[in-house]
Structure 1
Amino acid sequence: MYNSERKRKGRNSVMWKNLAGIPPQPSNKECGYFIMRYMRDIIEDKDLSLFPVKWERRGSSHYTQADIDQMRNEWAKFVVKAYV
């Protein structure tokens, strides 16, 4: 049963937790491409033995506009190949 059905007030605001190791996102426009690039980097990493330590250090790195554009191009090629 939902809080509103029981006439209880829920949480006032969303509580976000910033995780160590995630490069900062430059703007809100590229968020999907940014996430896809980050997930691809994790998936392509062959050595996951020191995963938390290694990815925590990546927090100081940044994805450039060229990195985001590369992800955008890969996504567009996939969509064209799969659906056109």
Structure 2
Amino acid sequence: MPWDEEAARLLGRRVRRLREGLVLSQEALAHRAGCSKNHVQLIEAAGRRAPARPVNLRLTTLYGLAEALGVTPWDLVRDPDPGG
């Protein structure tokens, strides 16, 4: 799956859903993930915007978010429909 608007939307939705499931604020998630609250806000906002602006993540941010959320980085970015 290419990194495009749809991928950014999926990532934003997943991060928000997982964060809310853990009852974490954006600030708490950012602290655990080693990024800024603003970055978490931008990532999650891509899940609600149409069209979404693809958020470019550093691998350290992706790994930090995944660890803080208790999932693998792949779980955050995988294609939900790999068959196309």
| TM-score, normalised relative to structure 1 | 0.33
Structure whose CA Rg is larger:
1
| TM-score, normalised relative to structure 2 | 0.33
